[in-house]
Structure 1
Amino acid sequence: MSRLLLISFAVTVCIISGIEAEPIKVPVSTRYITTAITTIGQGVEKTFIAALCQQFSGETINATLLLNNNPSWDVPSGVVYYYIVDDPAKTQKDALCNNTDKAGVPGPYCIIQKWSSTKDMYLKARAGDVSGISFSIDIDIQKNAKKGIVKDHKTYAAPGFTNSSTSRLHLKVDTEYLTEIVTVETSQRLAYKKEALLEITFCPNPFTTLDYKINSIIYGTDGISSYAQYICEKLPCQVDNPDVVGSNGKQVPNNIVTLTTQSGQYSHIYVLVVCWSGQYYPTPSPGNFYGEFQYSGSLMRESP
């Protein structure tokens, strides 16, 4: 498995169409995933951790485990039994959800209608009585939309996380931190030379420590638009503003900015997106060019 773990981000994303416009709410999707295929032996157990940083209380959790060689979940072909808890010491009797039905038949899904804990999430998996079962995990959290841009925020540390970038957590072979990623749910339309503002908070964990780099990617989804981006630590986030800590002013369809830190400096950022081309729409009059974009943010462990 790759030793680079992406984690990144989860919070409120707002779009501003032009400086004079009011912020527009844009729903975001936060996911915790495996970044490589996991293969475990007969009856082997493994725990997967999603570092939540107290951000998702009240949200619905949709966990999916994909069996790469057994999409129909035929038990003789090899399945995985799993459940979710909010404490590593808890067992199946404390499960907030599990992937078996009333008859005990396993399937891919485990749903928690309302996550009420302020702790991290632990997905505990056990392979069935078949050797060499391969799978991947995707946990989706739908964040409720909030009005406006959140200017006051809290930065949380995962339980047991220290601020020493030289302190490495040597995880057991049966434990793995999941990658946290965030995107806007659907492609966003932005007019030529107008701006979109995204607010993002990170959740570093004991595996990544504070020695990480951030990849921030804006990409056009219409095949005709291009974008520049600017990253700030605080508002106002504007082009040529002293608070810009990273930027890529090239007007390209796939715009990437990478930040590096050894101190966890960039735990909360704002990403300013500027549209530079797009499809021409004659209405509403007098017409304008509009681009459509998506966003992907990730936090990577800087070194093994």
Structure 2
Amino acid sequence: MGHGVFAIVLLSTSVVTVFGQQYIRLPTSYVNQQLVRPEAKSIQVWNASVCASVSKTYHGYVVMVDINLPENLKWNPLLGVVYATVSNGTSITPTTPVFCQNYEADTAKSSCNYLYDEAMGPNIIVTVRAGDSSHIQYSLGVSFVNKTTQLASAKKTILSPEETKKMYEILALPVKSAVAVVNLVPMIRLDTPGVVDTLGVALYTFNVCPSQAIGSTFTIEIVVVGAQPDDAFSTYACKALPCTADNNNVIIADISDSSINVVQVSYNQIAPTGDVFLTIFGFGGKETNQFSLGAVVRSK
């Protein structure tokens, strides 16, 4: 397997109480690793594979499927758009359950969403059909969002009768068995700054499991960066709870009490669950410390 890099990204959080302490759970998102330039009327099939150990956690969450057209931000149909169908199967038939799609009647839009049920299974299959333009470029993301979160409005375009007819002709094209299923890459990060009191702690947990996209020999580099130079921290990464200093559960720690903390863990240190627990101590010069939290997973 070639070298791969991706960021681990937070879009919505939940709180888990363990041993009387509240850990903020960072849900996993999934993205394609590079911009796609499909041929006109071609079909790509993508899979976001949810870790079995956390599929119950996402029960009742909203799954957001977002498509970005960087050269057609307003989704002008004359410049080319794409049509996505989301299911748990690689072949779309009349009996295949369709969870959401980014088109309806004469409208195409940049996203669709649905309520996740663990009975749907671990695979979120997104079938993307390119329009009849030869200049389409897109990227794709799948994320779990707490159902109480205010969802961003999708970009929409109204198709002319002729464009609508073309769309349904494209949608009628069968998915050939030879079309390869490409695995989306998992990612996690804080999208708003974290806050920890000086001499206090901030607690986080997330999960990364092996997949065809990253293999099973990956490492996770976790980075905490202060918002200001006098924001300072020490960070402990653990394989289990409790996650405290001088505990056998600690895999590695950065106790530099500085504005930048970096720790790295390998999958074999967190196998088989894939759970990572973080305890971030505040050591800044003010009463509170703000920080960004992210990670990079490096597959070998």
TM-score range, shorter chain: 0.7 to 0.9
1:241 is paired with a residue of what secondary structure?
Answer: coil
Number of matched residues? 261
1:91 & 1:246 partners in 2: Cα distance? 49
- Change over 3 Å in CA distance of 1:131–1:3 after alignment to 2: farther
**Which residue matches 1:62?**
64
1:36 & 1:85 partners in 2: Cα distance? 23
1:15 & 1:256 partners in 2: Cα distance? 26
2:283 is paired with a residue of what secondary structure?
Answer: strand
- TM-score, structure 2 normalization: 0.75
How far does residue 222 in structure 1 lie from its aligned partner after superposition?
4.5
How far does residue 227 in structure 1 lie from its aligned partner after superposition?
1.7
Q: Does 1:239 align with 2:237?
A: no
1:232 & 1:274 partners in 2: Cα distance? 14
Output the aligned Cα RMSD.
3.1
2:188 is paired with a residue of what secondary structure?
Answer: strand
- The 5 A counterparts of 1:1-304 are 4=4, 6=6, 23-24=21-22, 26=24, 28-54=26-52, 55=55, 56-91=58-93, 94-103=97-106, 105-116=107-118, 117-143=120-146, 174-184=180-190, 186-222=192-228, 224-261=230-267, 265=271, 267-278=274-285, 280=286, 289-301=287-299, 303=300
Counterpart amino acid of residue 60 in structure 1: V
- Change over 3 Å in CA distance of 1:3–1:242 after alignment to 2: closer
- Report if the CA contact (8 A) 1:9-1:201 is conserved: no
How far does residue 129 in structure 1 lie from its aligned partner after superposition?
0.5
Deviates more, 1:209-218 or 1:23-32: 23-32
How far does residue 212 in structure 1 lie from its aligned partner after superposition?
0.8
1:124 is paired with a residue of what secondary structure?
Answer: strand
Higher helix share: 2
How far does residue 216 in structure 1 lie from its aligned partner after superposition?
1.4
Gaps of 5+ in 1: 146-171, 281-288
1:91 & 1:226 partners in 2: Cα distance? 55
- Change over 3 Å in CA distance of 1:291–1:8 after alignment to 2: closer
Q: Which runs of 4+ in 1 moved over 6 A?
A: none
1:133 is paired with a residue of what secondary structure?
Answer: coil
2:241 is paired with a residue of what secondary structure?
Answer: coil
How far does residue 192 in structure 1 lie from its aligned partner after superposition?
1.0
2:93 & 2:3 partners in 1: Cα distance? 28
Gaps of 5+ in 2: 149-177
Counterpart amino acid of residue 129 in structure 1: D
1:204 & 1:7 partners in 2: Cα distance? 16
1:29 & 1:261 partners in 2: Cα distance? 18
- Report if the CA contact (8 A) 2:5-2:296 is conserved: no
How far does residue 240 in structure 1 lie from its aligned partner after superposition?
2.6
2:280 & 2:196 partners in 1: Cα distance? 9
- TM-score, structure 1 normalization: 0.74
Counterpart amino acid of residue 239 in structure 1: A
How far does residue 44 in structure 1 lie from its aligned partner after superposition?
1.4
2:78 is paired with a residue of what secondary structure?
Answer: helix
How far does residue 90 in structure 1 lie from its aligned partner after superposition?
3.6
1:13 & 1:3 partners in 2: Cα distance? 34
Counterpart amino acid of residue 274 in structure 1: F
- Change over 3 Å in CA distance of 1:4–1:218 after alignment to 2: same
2:227 & 2:201 partners in 1: Cα distance? 17
1:277 is paired with a residue of what secondary structure?
Answer: coil
- Change over 3 Å in CA distance of 1:8–1:177 after alignment to 2: farther
- Report if the CA contact (8 A) 2:36-2:139 is conserved: yes
- Report if the CA contact (8 A) 2:82-2:129 is conserved: yes
How far does residue 134 in structure 1 lie from its aligned partner after superposition?
1.1
How far does residue 29 in structure 1 lie from its aligned partner after superposition?
4.8
- Report if the CA contact (8 A) 2:84-2:129 is conserved: yes
1:76 is paired with a residue of what secondary structure?
Answer: helix
